[in-house]
Chain A
């Protein structure tokens, strides 16, 4: 029994002791773990905070991969990709389109002249103002000094389609002698074919017909201030016509061009002619022809030869009722010495044109030339000019021009200014009834696009008093001022 008791007591004691130890042990173990855990958690929290900061810092920075960690090939590839993106962006930006991209090429020529003349123009045409008075081929500019905005010419050109190009020249002049009001005129508006076979080209519309060398040039493109007086008298200023022209370039090793045209008129030839509202006989049209050739004597010397004809078989004058034939022929020559690479840019041009006007027309007075009995008189008149221009340097070009023409109304329609007698062949001071003009001039080109020119005209007018004229011309070109084939030096 005592054994059983002692056994139970022992068990209880053991349980108590073990329980007490185990409790104390557990208690010790539990305390250290928590501390450790707390430390670990604090550590982890620190690490987490550190990492969060790192992440935040990295997020704040642009994502750049460390180059060193990439292979050169990969880095190169990425570089190429970035470059391609830039190129694509640049190409895309260059592909912007504007409606104005198809606008034609524009050039504006502004031509202003200050002038002084000792007497009014009288029968002496050719101050270049283009002024006309009731069909007479001369300007009515008064004596004295004035300034004249001769032209503000807008030249417009573009291809129309694969077959045709077109151009127009609009001229607004504000002449002090014409009330100073600006007048806008369509000087040219024409279509030109570009793809016809057999070297053919057709031009149609309003254009300056291919007659001679200077008649089809616009005022600012002339080598002088004024148009040669003989051209003003015989052609009537510029060789403007409304019509159609066919030209053929001969398939020869040298330059040879044949041109034929038909139009309402030539220049100011028939200002009193048939109005558009009335019918015009076929023979009332003006028929034009021109042959032009050119030879290089060698690299430095060349010659250009041309012949022109304008025939109006049966012109009609509305004012001076009547019909008349008119034939104007001209021969022109141009010699040029242009030493390539002279280092001084010197050159010499000597050129001239001889005109003969035959027929019943009276271009000076208009209408038909008649005798005292009213019968038609078929009569010829000679005229022409010659000039020489020496280019001293790129900027300076002095020149001299001589012009001569017979008054086509002679000897029937001249009134002697001294005696008032009609039908005189000599004027009061015994001058012949023709017109001679001597014109020294000097051009200065500060650049390709600007020119100043001084010119003196001494005109010996057979039927009027002599006149002295002084011109100072200032011309500029805005925009794309390319030299056309017909405006070449």
Chain B
């Protein structure tokens, strides 16, 4: 009898611990990446609590599956993700374990922002011999401000569907975000003019949208194939291509080792620049606007240091 009382007491205590989480009336939003959290926070305003599972400095393809994510997903009203299999290696397992039918794929709370964009790099043939491909296309569209616009629209529509009564508030926040984005885009366009035609090499193929937006050309990647670490032979070939095409800027993403970028840069006399690919990827990058601003300016600085920045 005492055992049963102890069990009931324990269950009661656990439920009491959970009360603070249930008590608030705000929309509980969980995002996979911090960029989504920043934009969702701007559009939802004080109507929601927003939390990102991944941090800006980690590898977004290999986020560790932490059980501490489970309670967050279990109570979420909306799960906002990048889609295009960006989170494929870790998110499905978490959704299965979270016991929240609202955020399962296809449900109203499952908000895939990629439905608003036209993907680049959609593979013609699917084979693992080409590395860790994304069958629906390159998922790093957050690095194009137009991708930011698409994310904002997707989040607004999801929020308005979830809480139609507060849709006018979300719309006003969306308009404010887009107005600021337009102003910033004009500034980034002006700043990035010397980058047009600049040839670069990156570690992973995650800067396609960014390079296309500002007229840069990606000559190759340090990775042999997406998700596959480089072999010596691949690096020799890459250095050959860089020399032939006059590549003087090597981009490293924060979650990759500095070793290979420094090695190949030393061979061709190139500048290495570290570009965060998510909000929080560098100490100064606290918002989505910070991210784009930081990347455009860092690229410009690297190109000028390498003596390959064009004229405005």
Q: Which residues of B contact A304 (CB under 8 A)?
A: 67
Q: Which residues of A contact B67 (CB under 8 A)?
A: 255, 292, 294, 304
CB < 8 Å: which of A302, A345, A483 contacts B59?
Answer: A345
Q: Determine if B59 and A448 form an interchain contact, defined as CB atoms under 8 angstroms apart.
A: no
Specify the chain A residue showing the minimal Cβ separation from B107: A162
Q: Determine if B58 and A485 form an interchain contact, defined as CB atoms under 8 angstroms apart.
A: no
Q: Determine if B14 and A252 form an interchain contact, defined as CB atoms under 8 angstroms apart.
A: yes
CB < 8 Å: which of B57, B64, B74, B132 contacts A488?
Answer: B64
Q: Which residues of A contact B57 (CB under 8 A)?
A: 340-341
**A231 CB to nearest chain B CB (Å):** 22
Q: Determine if A302 and B68 form an interchain contact, defined as CB atoms under 8 angstroms apart.
A: yes
Q: Is A251 among interface residues, defined by CB-CB distance under 8 A?
A: yes
Q: Is A447 among interface residues, defined by CB-CB distance under 8 A?
A: yes
The count of residues in chain A whose C-beta lies closer than 8 Å to any C-beta of chain B is 43
Q: Is B48 among interface residues, defined by CB-CB distance under 8 A?
A: no
Q: Which residues of A contact B169 (CB under 8 A)?
A: none
Known pairs A194-B104, A252-B17, A252-B18; A343 contacts B255 (CB<8 A): yes
Q: Given the complex of chains A and B, what is the CA–CA distance between A395 and B18 in angstroms?
A: 41
Q: Determine if B71 and A254 form an interchain contact, defined as CB atoms under 8 angstroms apart.
A: yes
Specify the chain A residue showing the minimal Cβ separation from B258: A343
Q: Is A489 among interface residues, defined by CB-CB distance under 8 A?
A: yes
Which A residues from 463 to 489 make CB contacts under 8 A with B? Answer: 478, 482-485, 488-489
Q: Which residues of B contact A302 (CB under 8 A)?
A: 66, 68
Specify the chain B residue showing the minimal Cβ separation from A192: B96
Q: Is A388 among interface residues, defined by CB-CB distance under 8 A?
A: no
Known pairs A253-B18, A341-B254, A345-B255; A395 contacts B101 (CB<8 A): no
Q: Which residues of B contact A195 (CB under 8 A)?
A: 101
Known pairs A341-B55, A341-B57; A489 contacts B17 (CB<8 A): no
Which A residues from 335 to 358 make CB contacts under 8 A with B? Answer: 336, 338, 340-341, 343-345
* Interface mask (A170-206 → B, CB under 8 Å = 1, otherwise 0): 0000000000000000000000001110011100000
CB < 8 Å: which of B21, B101, B132 contacts A251?
Answer: B21
Q: Determine if B97 and A485 form an interchain contact, defined as CB atoms under 8 angstroms apart.
A: yes
Secondary structure class of chain B's binding surface, majority of residues? loop
* Interface mask (B65-77 → A, CB under 8 Å = 1, otherwise 0): 1111011001100
Q: Is A54 among interface residues, defined by CB-CB distance under 8 A?
A: no
Looking at B36-44, B86-94, B180-188, B210-218, the stretch in contact with chain A turns out to be B86-94
Q: Determine if B254 and A255 form an interchain contact, defined as CB atoms under 8 angstroms apart.
A: no
Q: Determine if B89 and A482 form an interchain contact, defined as CB atoms under 8 angstroms apart.
A: yes
Q: Is A166 among interface residues, defined by CB-CB distance under 8 A?
A: no
Q: Is A17 among interface residues, defined by CB-CB distance under 8 A?
A: no
* Interface mask (B26-62 → A, CB under 8 Å = 1, otherwise 0): 0000000000000000000000000000011111001
Known pairs A299-B55, A485-B94; A343 contacts B257 (CB<8 A): yes
Q: Is A249 among interface residues, defined by CB-CB distance under 8 A?
A: yes
**A302 CB to nearest chain B CB (Å):** 6
**A198 CB to nearest chain B CB (Å):** 9
Q: Which residues of B contact A449 (CB under 8 A)?
A: 128
**A413 CB to nearest chain B CB (Å):** 36
**B3 CB to nearest chain A CB (Å):** 13
Q: Is A39 among interface residues, defined by CB-CB distance under 8 A?
A: no
* Interface mask (B255-267 → A, CB under 8 Å = 1, otherwise 0): 1111000000000
Q: Is B9 among interface residues, defined by CB-CB distance under 8 A?
A: no
* Interface mask (B133-147 → A, CB under 8 Å = 1, otherwise 0): 000000000000000
Q: Which residues of B contact A482 (CB under 8 A)?
A: 88-89, 92-93
Specify the chain B residue showing the minimal Cβ separation from A292: B67
Q: Which residues of B contact A296 (CB under 8 A)?
A: 66, 68
Specify the chain A residue showing the minimal Cβ separation from B276: A341
CB < 8 Å: which of B89, B90, B227 contacts A447?
Answer: B227
Q: Determine if B255 and A255 form an interchain contact, defined as CB atoms under 8 angstroms apart.
A: no
Residue from B64, B65, B99, B228 with most neighbouring chain A CB atoms (10 Å): B99
Q: Given the complex of chains A and B, what is the CA–CA distance between A164 and B25 in angstroms?
A: 30
Q: Which residues of A contact B128 (CB under 8 A)?
A: 447, 449, 478
Q: Is A256 among interface residues, defined by CB-CB distance under 8 A?
A: yes
Q: Which residues of B contact A446 (CB under 8 A)?
A: 228
Specify the chain B residue showing the minimal Cβ separation from A336: B64
Known pairs A299-B55, A393-B257, A449-B128; A255 contacts B70 (CB<8 A): yes
Q: Determine if B17 and A253 form an interchain contact, defined as CB atoms under 8 angstroms apart.
A: yes
Q: Determine if B64 and A338 form an interchain contact, defined as CB atoms under 8 angstroms apart.
A: yes
Q: Given the complex of chains A and B, what is the CA–CA distance between A447 and B254 in angstroms?
A: 20
Specify the chain A residue showing the minimal Cβ separation from B74: A249
Q: Is A250 among interface residues, defined by CB-CB distance under 8 A?
A: yes
Q: Given the complex of chains A and B, what is the CA–CA distance between A448 and B132 in angstroms?
A: 8
Q: Which residues of B contact A82 (CB under 8 A)?
A: none
CB < 8 Å: which of B56, B96, B255, B256 contacts A485?
Answer: B96
Q: Given the complex of chains A and B, what is the CA–CA distance between A488 and B14 in angstroms?
A: 26
Q: Is A86 among interface residues, defined by CB-CB distance under 8 A?
A: no
Q: Is A283 among interface residues, defined by CB-CB distance under 8 A?
A: no
Q: Determine if A488 and B68 form an interchain contact, defined as CB atoms under 8 angstroms apart.
A: no
Q: Given the complex of chains A and B, what is the CA–CA distance between A240 and B14 in angstroms?
A: 31
Q: Determine if B68 and A255 form an interchain contact, defined as CB atoms under 8 angstroms apart.
A: yes
**B44 CB to nearest chain A CB (Å):** 21
Q: Is B290 among interface residues, defined by CB-CB distance under 8 A?
A: no
Specify the chain A residue showing the minimal Cβ separation from B92: A482
Q: Which residues of A contact B68 (CB under 8 A)?
A: 254-255, 294-296, 302
Q: Given the complex of chains A and B, what is the CA–CA distance between A194 and B22 in angstroms?
A: 21
Which A residues from 373 to 398 make CB contacts under 8 A with B? Answer: 393-395
Specify the chain B residue showing the minimal Cβ separation from A163: B101
Q: Given the complex of chains A and B, what is the CA–CA distance between A233 and B22 in angstroms?
A: 45
Q: Determine if B55 and A340 form an interchain contact, defined as CB atoms under 8 angstroms apart.
A: yes
Q: Given the complex of chains A and B, what is the CA–CA distance between A482 and B105 in angstroms?
A: 15
Q: Which residues of B contact A395 (CB under 8 A)?
A: 229
Q: Given the complex of chains A and B, what is the CA–CA distance between A447 and B92 in angstroms?
A: 20
> Given contacts A253-B17, A343-B257, could you give 8 more A-B pairs where the C-beta distance is less than 8 Å?
A194-B101, A195-B101, A252-B14, A302-B68, A340-B55, A343-B254, A345-B255, A482-B88
Query: Can you list the 7 inter-chain pairs with the closest CB atoms, starting with the nearest?
Result: A341-B57, A251-B18, A294-B67, A488-B65, A255-B67, A340-B58, A485-B97
**Could you list 11 A-B pairs, sorted by A, with CB under 8 Å?**
A194-B104, A249-B74, A252-B18, A252-B71, A255-B71, A336-B64, A340-B57, A341-B58, A394-B229, A482-B88, A488-B93
